[in-house]
Amino acid sequence: MSDDVIATKKLKREILVRLIRAFMSDNFAENVRLIPYAMRPKGSEVPFRCCIYKERAILRSRTIAGLGFAMEDDDEATLLSDFAIKALERKTPEPEPLTVLQNACQGCPSSRVFVTELCQNCVAKPCMNACRFEAISQVKGRSMIDADKCKKCGLCMAACPYHAIVKTIVPCEEACPVGAIAKGEDGAAYIDKDKCISCGKCVSACPFGAPHAKSQVIDVLAQIKSGKKVIAMFAPALIGHLPCTAAQMRDAFKKIGFYDAYEVAQGADVTATTEAKDFAERLNEGAEFMTTSCCAAYNEFVKKHLPEIKPYVSDAKTPLYYTAEIVKKEHPDAVSVFISPCFAKRKEVLDNQNVNYVLNFEELGAILIALGIEVDTCQEQDFVYHSSKEAREFPLSGGVARSVQAAWRGSPDAIRPCVINGLNKATVKELKSYAKTGKCAGGNLVEVMCCEGGCIAGNAGLNTIKMALKKVSDYAANGDSLKDR
């Protein structure tokens, strides 16, 4: 993680911890109102913005998002205490998981390609020769780029021997694989809900923390406080982000107040087995390839941007879907909460009556801090169901494909995995070519993960990808294989 991302994560965590402690106090609304003033008291240092009042205004916005509301609907007159009361009155979470704090947005200059003073006015004119759109000309002894003709393809940048041509970017726009975030007329960023796939790449990319998740932490804590049977279902990626075992995590959830916890790797075994059967049927029907279906952001991408590839997407449901079915069957009166490495799952559960809320890893981490729970000291509480090695590898890039291979009962040579390790502008183009031609040159089982590295690299992670990879891999090594079941 970059220093910018770490700094904004710390701010979010501090606000969430203060919100949770306010919820546990005798005066939730008033203590929420005081959060910006407690974090930036009179006379304190102003670390980020021009003045203490700007800092407090942005902290107020972050607190509103932490309470689960969209900043786009804020009238700036409503008190934080009123938002706190509304949060307690809310029956269901808001449908869109992301919002943008306009007052935190820097209003970055528009992306453009331009020639710097390093231009040497080469005789060969490599930049002009490289440009396919006749956007470059010679003006007063140096190259100039016509912004109206420039397509920002970068060919001139690659051709310049002096690296005199550079491209400025808007981090959130550059990170978004589907062009869902852009500046409005006021210069601040806005998210197009019709395009957004809730991948959260803009959240991770913005060095000012303007794109922000709308938290459901107060909703979940309110359900626990009311005495309802609340059950946590945690993604196996969580093991890579906390200093404990899965069995200790079960005890930690109970200390928080959850009735019990289920490992979503249990559902991953069902997903892998179902996808293997689905793949066999499609091969028999003459299909050239099939893509996996467990990534929520990818499923949103298919629905909103590439419906042409839908016939090639497996009909298998996600591990969360199958785990939630199990929980509902065993505890029909329970409130179920998924503990997720990313924001996209909040869109997935809108159509799933078996899942009520989604907390991400950052929010869980804030709860543990606020309640003073040290997970590495929790007791080992084993699970009834022991997930397979491959199910525990689901959050790793390539892990889903390996799981399907392990569940496969046909010829070992029949499956040829092709891994799309992260959705970006290049891989989106690649997937579009698969949909258009009906073929995948790299294989016939296409695993698609939105986050580079897999779910362990989700936008709400608490650990480095390298450390998370090692921890999850070590945990998986202790499981038996689907091949032996």
> Are 431 and 448 contacting, i.e. CB atoms less than 8 angstroms apart?
yes
Task: Supply the pLDDT for residue 7.
Answer: 77
Do 9 and 117 have their domain in common? no
Task: Supply the pLDDT for residue 304.
Answer: 97
Do 162 and 224 have their domain in common? no
Do 37 and 163 have their domain in common? no
Task: CATH number of the domain at 163, please.
Answer: 3.30.70.20
| Spatial separation of the C-alpha atoms in residues 192 and 189, rounded to whole Å | 10
Q: Please give the structure tokens belonging to residue 484.
A: 């032996």
Do 155 and 22 have their domain in common? no
| Spatial separation of the C-alpha atoms in residues 417 and 292, rounded to whole Å | 10
Average pLDDT, the chain: 93
| Spatial separation of the C-alpha atoms in residues 28 and 351, rounded to whole Å | 32
Q: Is the residue at 177 inside a domain?
A: no
Q: How many CB atoms neighbour CB 271 within 10 A?
A: 29
Q: Is the residue at 418 inside a domain?
A: yes
Do 273 and 196 have their domain in common? no
* Range(s) of the domain holding residue 234: 219-484
Lowest mean pLDDT among 183-187, 246-250, 355-359, 476-480: 183-187
| Mean per-residue pLDDT, 216-238 | 97
Percentage above 70 pLDDT, the chain: 99
Q: Is the residue at 176 inside a domain?
A: no
Q: How many domains does the chain have?
A: 3
Query: Which pLDDT band, with edges at 50, 70 and 90, does 1 fall under?
Result: low
| Spatial separation of the C-alpha atoms in residues 58 and 35, rounded to whole Å | 11
pLDDT 10s digits, 327-347 = 999 999 999 999 999 989 999
| Spatial separation of the C-alpha atoms in residues 142 and 163, rounded to whole Å | 14
Q: Please give the structure tokens belonging to residue 33.
A: 């109102």
The yes-or-no verdict on residue 32 having pLDDT over 60 is: yes
Task: Supply the pLDDT for residue 187.
Answer: 84
Task: Supply the pLDDT for residue 413.
Answer: 87
| Spatial separation of the C-alpha atoms in residues 101 and 36, rounded to whole Å | 15
| Mean per-residue pLDDT, 288-308 | 96
Do 148 and 271 have their domain in common? no
| Mean per-residue pLDDT, 224-250 | 96
Lowest mean pLDDT among 131-140, 228-237, 254-263, 311-320: 131-140
Do 253 and 163 have their domain in common? no
| Mean per-residue pLDDT, 77-87 | 95
Task: CATH number of the domain at 273, please.
Answer: 3.40.950.10
Task: Supply the pLDDT for residue 4.
Answer: 56
Q: Is the residue at 173 inside a domain?
A: no
Do 9 and 100 have their domain in common? yes
Q: Which residue has the higher pLDDT, 482 or 437?
A: 437
Q: Is the residue at 178 inside a domain?
A: no
The yes-or-no verdict on residue 226 having pLDDT over 80 is: yes
Q: Is the residue at 14 inside a domain?
A: yes
Do 82 and 230 have their domain in common? no
The yes-or-no verdict on residue 430 having pLDDT over 80 is: yes
The yes-or-no verdict on residue 203 having pLDDT over 70 is: yes
Q: Is the residue at 200 inside a domain?
A: yes
Task: Supply the pLDDT for residue 64.
Answer: 96
Do 144 and 247 have their domain in common? no
Do 477 and 360 have their domain in common? yes
Q: How many CB atoms neighbour CB 45 within 10 A?
A: 7
| Spatial separation of the C-alpha atoms in residues 391 and 480, rounded to whole Å | 10
> Are 158 and 130 contacting, i.e. CB atoms less than 8 angstroms apart?
yes
The yes-or-no verdict on residue 455 having pLDDT over 80 is: yes
| Spatial separation of the C-alpha atoms in residues 400 and 155, rounded to whole Å | 36
Q: Is the residue at 274 inside a domain?
A: yes
Do 275 and 203 have their domain in common? no
Vertex 443 angle, CA 323 and 300, to 5°:
45
